[in-house]
Chains A and B, each alone.
Chain A
Amino acid sequence: MSNTFLGMPTLPVFGHGNLNATEKFPKAAHRELGDAQLRANLGHATHTIRDKRLKVVAELPDWEDMRDAGSAIKNATMARLPALLEQFEANFTARGGIIHWARDAQEANEIVTGLIRATGETEVVKVKSMATQEIGLNEYLEEQGIAAFETDLAELIVQLDHDKPSHILVPAIHKNRRQIREIFLREMADVDPALTDEPARLAEAARKHLRKKFLTAKVAVSGANFGLADTGTLTVVESEGNGRMCLTLPETLITVMGIEKLLPSFADLEVFMQLLPRSSTGERMNPYTSLWTGVTPGDGPQNVHLVLLDNGRSAALADEMGRTALNCIRCSACMNVCPVYERTGGHAYGSTYPGPIGAILSPLLTGIKSEENSSLPYASSLCGACYDACPVKINIPEILVHLRGEDVDSKRAKIKVPSQMDLMMKGAQWAFSDGAHLNLLEKGLPLGKLAAGRDKVIKKLPGIAAGWTQSRDIPAPPTQSFRQWWDKEHVAPAAVERSQDGSRNTEGEQA
């Protein structure tokens, strides 16, 4: 198939749903930073997975070769995406599956609702899925009078607590066992009141809570980790068996998958099923992987649907610098190594996709002009740890810088009056352009010391600089600058002589 257009070329059409932050990152981060429990839980969790990941990655002599293959396969997929989607569609359909296309979150939600309605059911079980999180499916279904039950343990915890996931792999990473026990006792109707906070007991409570649901469910909704174009196969990777329950027992299975999740061939799984588990949970392989190709008579759901979701992905693809963000396989390795994520947690990012990948993916899907997401590319120290960890070698720092540029350009076009930042930059330009200018400014240093007060820290700076002091204190400046000190210690040779003479004359101690 050629890449010729079917009609007029379309402008980027951005995505909706839970992609947009509800408030700017600095504001949200400030609030989250105040939660010491969150930071302790997160620090423990991210460091644990990080260490496990390094250990299992080091076991493989060909890890870097695998990353190279993974990165190239994904780039090749994106380059040939229209043809691969059509190939996937033909194969999936030939085996009895039904494909639906959705331009955006709203359309996807409507399709899924219509499919559930057609079964006559008002309850569905769900496998953890980023795509349905992104489109806000659970909330939408609730409005339509359909109850969606999350079955992944972490998603269940988050759902019972009326909270939001904060990590793409371990959505309840921000909660500890004590908090989870409290949630279960409060929200599970049938829970044993003697429940302890041992993880094994908590997992058992979840098993009991969901068992009957699984065995009687008629409809399941899932996402997919990979779609394989040459065979029309879908894949779900999981640990608990809740995925297998949902994918196997119900009569109807509805999967929602982003159009970027394709791989060209079944054989490409050999690369990705090595990259994904080791990068995400630090395991050699996840406990369960399910693969299905359309309908298998007598085995598993007999009504099999797939909703292929755009929701801003085509817009991200149109960004030549940013499109590799679509190569992401949602392993979460980047967030586990990110110093910013480690301190703020996932909620600060607002979007379904937190951490370094979220900081680029969310604004790419919604457009950088989306007011709240425009602050996300700044949520990074550009240390590069995410790039090193990414199994498909997405150059996140480079895309962050590119998006910051886009943001500045889009704002410059909008803002007429010079902003505080512009004025500060002007001032800095003046100061650094001439030593005399800088000298003049440095005379003000003792004032800073004064402002800091007795504990020698500045807690609040005025104006735009307040952002710096929102979540950190600045140590008081020294009373003199390096330049002032140098002038004092290294007086010109002639001056030295004169002063030495003078001292001799006045005090005579060298005699």
Chain B
Amino acid sequence: MSARDDVLNRIKSALRDSPAAPEIPRNYRLVSTMTAAQRLEQLVDRLVDYKANVFVVPAAEAPAKLAELLDGAASIVVPHGLPAEYLQLLKNDAGSPAVQVDSPERRLTVDELDAVDAVVTGAAVAVAETGTIMLDGSPSQGRRVISLVPDRHVCLLRAADIVEVLPEAIARLDPASPQTWISGPSATSDIELERVEGVHGPRTLDVLILS
């Protein structure tokens, strides 16, 4: 018998008492009760608690803020679906850093990514209660590797994409797409439980929330 049939057979025989599958009581919170302003405030609070740098700016001022944030970066990578206005600004501004676009036609190598200073991506949705930003590989967020190898991740988030509780975010995500959920920058607590930010992932996480 194949291992597959053997294992399945063992499990079936283990369940010969035919245990009933219980009803699932879903009495936990499935939807928000907070206002948009409260959600924004809570998300900022949680992200700052994780040692992320958070900036809330009106959408119109975002490109300028972004330019200011990236002033010290000599090279930047962006996914091909990053909203044109940001890309435009990064590209055309005199003296602005070199921008490389990662796209299905031109995928940057790991070494190229390792040489850049920062990555700018969008985000699919964010959860205020847990301080979590979710990337789902769509064109404005790009491949998983681009938000991993560069040491600094600048994430652009629309305030409208902030939900309060995790179930609301899960409902918005497509399971087929590879996802990365980010709650603050890379961290470890393995040495005497003392939290240290910055191990293998980007050591700096900047979140630019467009209100």
Q: Complex Cα distance A107/B176, Å? A: 30
> With an 8 A cutoff between CB atoms, is B148 at the interface?
yes
Please state if A315 and B14 are interface contacts (CB–CB under 8 Å): yes
Which residue of chain B is the closest to A248 with respect to CB atoms?
B144
Which residue of chain B is the closest to A203 with respect to CB atoms?
B196
Q: Complex Cα distance A315/B196, Å? A: 41
Q: A215 contacts which chain B residues (CB < 8 A)?
A: 110-111, 114, 149
- Contacts A239-B187, A240-B188, A240-B199 given; does A269 touch B11 at CB 8 Å: no
Q: B12 contacts which chain A residues (CB < 8 A)?
A: 3-6, 82
Please state if A153 and B199 are interface contacts (CB–CB under 8 Å): yes
Name the prevailing secondary structure of the B interface residues: loop
Tell me the A1-57 residues at the B interface (CB within 8 Å): 3-7, 9-10, 12-13, 41, 44-45, 48-49
Chain A-chain B contacts (Cβ-Cβ < 8 Å), number: 268
- Contacts A107-B3, A244-B180 given; does A72 touch B199 at CB 8 Å: no
Mark each residue of chain A from 169 to 212: 1 if its CB lies under 8 Å from any CB of chain B, else 0: 01010001100100000000000000000011011101100110
Please state if A10 and B131 are interface contacts (CB–CB under 8 Å): no
Which residue of chain B is the closest to A107 with respect to CB atoms?
B3
Please state if A270 and B190 are interface contacts (CB–CB under 8 Å): no
User: Shortest Cβ distance from A131 into chain B, in angstroms?
Assistant: 14
> With an 8 A cutoff between CB atoms, is B192 at the interface?
yes
Please state if B187 and A284 are interface contacts (CB–CB under 8 Å): no
Mark each residue of chain B from 12 to 51: 1 if its CB lies under 8 Å from any CB of chain A, else 0: 1111111111111111110000000000000000100010
Please state if B19 and A78 are interface contacts (CB–CB under 8 Å): yes
Mark each residue of chain A from 88 to 112: 1 if its CB lies under 8 Å from any CB of chain B, else 0: 0000000100001111000100000
Please state if A103 and B3 are interface contacts (CB–CB under 8 Å): yes
User: Shortest Cβ distance from A312 into chain B, in angstroms?
Assistant: 10
Please state if A318 and B7 are interface contacts (CB–CB under 8 Å): no
Which residue of chain A is the closest to B180 with respect to CB atoms?
A290
- Contacts A68-B27, A241-B148, A298-B107 given; does A314 touch B7 at CB 8 Å: yes
Please state if B28 and A170 are interface contacts (CB–CB under 8 Å): no
User: Shortest Cβ distance from B17 into chain A, in angstroms?
Assistant: 6
| A207 partner, pick from B114, B194, B200, beta carbons under 8 A | B200
Please state if B200 and A292 are interface contacts (CB–CB under 8 Å): no
Which residue of chain B is the closest to A59 with respect to CB atoms?
B129
> With an 8 A cutoff between CB atoms, is B95 at the interface?
no
Q: A48 contacts which chain B residues (CB < 8 A)?
A: 193
**Using a Cβ–Cβ cut-off of 8 Å, how many residues does chain B contribute to the interface with A?**
77
Q: Complex Cα distance A102/B4, Å? A: 7
Q: B193 contacts which chain A residues (CB < 8 A)?
A: 44-45, 48-49, 170
> With an 8 A cutoff between CB atoms, is B132 at the interface?
yes
Please state if A239 and B188 are interface contacts (CB–CB under 8 Å): yes
> With an 8 A cutoff between CB atoms, is A286 at the interface?
yes
> With an 8 A cutoff between CB atoms, is A352 at the interface?
no
Interface residues of A (CB under 8 A from B): 3-7, 9-10, 12-13, 41, 44-45, 48-49, 61-62, 65-66, 68-69, 72-73, 75-76, 78-82, 85-86, 95, 100-103, 107, 151-154, 157, 170, 172, 176-177, 180, 199-200, 202-204, 206-207, 210-211, 214-215, 228, 231, 233, 239-242, 244-245, 247-249, 259, 266-267, 269-271, 273-274, 277, 281, 283-293, 296, 298-300, 308, 310, 314-315, 317-318, 320, 323
Interface residues of B (CB under 8 A from A): 1-29, 46, 50, 104, 107, 110-111, 114, 127, 129-132, 137, 143-145, 148-149, 166-167, 170-171, 175-194, 196, 198-202
